[in-house]
Structure 1
């Protein structure tokens, strides 16, 4: 990966107005937005089949004030959503970006549904940590794979060019920082060059690059990486070489509930509906309602870097709504026990410690007090036999820091000025999760990918249209 200085009169094999690097949700939505504003683009994807980190997620997009919320009687607003995001990240994110994403979120979700047939509905039944309203929008199967399928269908229907097995290896940049084109490599070793008038980096973060993870996320250097292998930090490295401003590189989304050895994501709804996590000593070690991102490091700190998700039949039945959970159940990850004593024996947990853990939850539910970690329990959510258990570990899903952008998704230099024609969104850009792992509010990743991706496509198209009219 390199920045190539542009020489005078350099020729490219082809030219398009707008090049988009990466065909995850971010790149696809950016292309659809650019098309809406009359601008043709080409999306370049390194893989044979576009997947990205989106396909490995549950595909939940938070949005405030949508008609899907109105239909379910949920009263929400961009202001409230922005407050929730900032409260979770400790007010470390750029407030202008947070406000812009919250304000645009409903319009983007409804546009994708109405103009492009993405079958969204509102995820009901529980609140994810930090959200004060139900605002997660997802496709029926609750998988990122299904969301990607819908977006790919939309891109094809719109007649947008998508080139797969086309890994961008070089950016061609002049002395002023203007991008003139890219070089892409094919699997057979051949290379092609494409000139452009603007470039959108939608190639996610650096979670798949061990050297960058050690440098910026040392606490998760030994965590299982459960993101797309193509997230090698290309945008970060290109931006660094160009003198871009880089922000919040220690921010990430972890997850404290990856089934082992099956490596299947277990929805955090299991915890939010009343489940708990215990370690190999039969003891709880955290507030499971604090957030699944920061829970990754907490699980990894336990003996053997593992924990057990404990829940009951009520929660099990509700979790079957999620395809990932159904897959884990089919694969044998979910174990069932008729009593605490049976569960202690079956999971090789100290019986007295496990019984004491459950006794404490009953006591807290009775007196209304919080435990040492700050969690409270209600009588209706207490676990009852038969019990279910899943062995889990903590994982790194994707990074949240990156190129600093303004509210038009334009990449900023270190002095705050914008590059002439460089845009970034999704994991390539600085997100809204603050500087660490605890600031991630559920859905922040796809909020940046989908909503900021739409903004990037729209603003790139507007800029190019203005330039061509001048």
Structure 2
């Protein structure tokens, strides 16, 4: 076969997993790394996320007096997912997580522990965020700038991969489309970091029909391309019915309210004026299923000034407030009118659960529904990120991470914990990239940046 160019590592996708893989692999100056990104104009899910990094046992937690560890982190994830088969991958990611957070901070990125970011299912505060709460876009800009500083790495935009190249079952390269032409890129290792398939309606209908017709809050490039490429090589998939859902999507706006609101007293009231769930007991992914079963598949999230003060500086709340997605109600009568109920009915719905505080006027309200952000099913990998075939053997030369690989939610969306998405993406990118630096570079032929 004739090759147009040759590299040591070809990374397909320039999101969290792809950029982290490239950063770690490019530490070896003798190794040429290329990232082929479908389109930065369309964005990546990491860039539209909150950018919160879940890690147990960091120096930031220690400074805040928070007792945590990778083992405790893994235990929380497995308790939520019930996916014991995936324990080796979960433990590998949780072991890497504190090193990733501290390394990112040491590159000059402003990180702090989110002491105001409690989440359902977490037995310790472990979400780390940027000090300005500006979200994932800020983090991805920072990491891509670090990659640009490597002379042996290239980030090639508007260069979608269209297929893998294999020889005798081993992956030897990738075909990318660039400037209207196809290019065959020979590579010693190919890393699938293409995200999931939530933007492909046919695949969502096939694997997640139980979600109904949720609002889609992800990027348009999440089309599941890697599943077909790897599938032709015998790669297996698992947990295809799971997704990262959100029960915090504001109706008619598409923004989201903060997951910390329920931990600050916020309540959910359905169209019948009924409070139907213990809000603190559900993560935002599992809350989506609860909302889907409510009349009209929606409910009113209600909170007060105390809760607003505790959450308004998060990226999600800033976006919702700027979009006019939050309604202010000065009195209980005003709130009742907004709900279409009587003041007595509304007062009963707002009655605090045991041990919770009572909301006080003025109130804030947003009608929320369920949405799908990303998928959680994907390729079966081992703890080092190697893609496995139906017999459990690695497909030579092929790795996967982030949304292209099976995630951490288990077989159902209810098993997703906050931070699992970026943990899977950055964590496996870290593991794969580090592992590739330990392999000898392919000595065959000259290599150059694409």
- TM-score bucket of the superposed structures, by smaller chain: over 0.9
Asked if 2 retains the 8 angstrom alpha-carbon contact of 1:141 and 1:323, the reply is: no
Residue in structure 2 matched with residue 19 of structure 1 by the alignment: 10
Residue in structure 1 matched with residue 399 of structure 2 by the alignment: 423
Residue in structure 1 matched with residue 380 of structure 2 by the alignment: 404
Asked if 1 retains the 8 angstrom alpha-carbon contact of 2:83 and 2:411, the reply is: no
Give the alignment of 1:222-261 within 5 angstroms. 222-261=213-252
Give the alignment of 1:333-412 within 5 angstroms. 333-359=325-351, 361=352, 364-365=353-354, 377-378=355-356, 381-412=357-388
Residue in structure 1 matched with residue 199 of structure 2 by the alignment: 208
Q: Which one of 165, 174, 177 corresponds to residue 167 of structure 2?
A: 174
Q: Which one of 75, 81, 105 corresponds to residue 113 of structure 1?
A: 105
Give the alignment of 1:255-334 within 5 angstroms. 255-289=246-280, 290-334=282-326
Q: Which whole-Å deviations, capped at 9, do the CAs of 1:169-192 have from their partners, x for residues lacking one?
A: 1111123x2112211123x53222
Residue in structure 2 matched with residue 446 of structure 1 by the alignment: 422
Residue in structure 2 matched with residue 77 of structure 1 by the alignment: 69
Asked if 1 retains the 8 angstrom alpha-carbon contact of 2:42 and 2:219, the reply is: no
Secondary structure (helix, strand or coil) at the match of 2:369 reads strand
Residue in structure 1 matched with residue 439 of structure 2 by the alignment: 463
Partner Cα distance (2:129, 2:443) in 1: 38
Give the deviation of 1:259 after TM superposition.
Answer: 1.5
Give the alignment of 1:83-122 within 5 angstroms. 83-114=75-106, 116-122=107-113
Q: In 2 relative to 1, CA 306–195 (structure 1 residues): closer, same or farther, beyond 3 Å?
A: same
Give the deviation of 1:317 after TM superposition.
Answer: 1.2
Q: In 2 relative to 1, CA 447–285 (structure 1 residues): closer, same or farther, beyond 3 Å?
A: same
Give the deviation of 1:338 after TM superposition.
Answer: 2.0
Partner Cα distance (1:190, 1:287) in 2: 55
Q: Which one of 139, 150, 154 corresponds to residue 161 of structure 1?
A: 154
Q: Which one of 19, 25, 45 corresponds to residue 53 of structure 1?
A: 45
Secondary structure (helix, strand or coil) at the match of 1:264 reads coil
What TM-score do the two structures reach when normalised by structure 2? 0.94
Asked if 1 retains the 8 angstrom alpha-carbon contact of 2:267 and 2:350, the reply is: no
Secondary structure (helix, strand or coil) at the match of 1:36 reads coil
Give the deviation of 1:36 after TM superposition.
Answer: 2.2
Asked if 2 retains the 8 angstrom alpha-carbon contact of 1:411 and 1:423, the reply is: yes
Give the deviation of 1:27 after TM superposition.
Answer: 0.5
Asked if 2 retains the 8 angstrom alpha-carbon contact of 1:45 and 1:167, the reply is: yes
Q: Which one of 412, 417, 435 corresponds to residue 411 of structure 2?
A: 435
Partner Cα distance (1:355, 1:307) in 2: 16
RMSD over aligned Cα, in angstroms? 1.7
Partner Cα distance (2:142, 2:7) in 1: 25
Deviates more, 1:344-353 or 1:74-83: 344-353
Secondary structure (helix, strand or coil) at the match of 2:175 reads strand
What TM-score do the two structures reach when normalised by structure 1? 0.90
Give the deviation of 1:156 after TM superposition.
Answer: 1.3
Give the deviation of 1:225 after TM superposition.
Answer: 1.0
Asked if 2 retains the 8 angstrom alpha-carbon contact of 1:117 and 1:154, the reply is: no
Asked if 1 retains the 8 angstrom alpha-carbon contact of 2:117 and 2:127, the reply is: no
Residue in structure 1 matched with residue 447 of structure 2 by the alignment: none
Where in structure 2 are there 5+ consecutive unaligned residues? 445-450
Give the deviation of 1:268 after TM superposition.
Answer: 0.5
Asked if 2 retains the 8 angstrom alpha-carbon contact of 1:50 and 1:164, the reply is: no
Partner Cα distance (2:103, 2:6) in 1: 29
Partner Cα distance (1:222, 1:351) in 2: 33
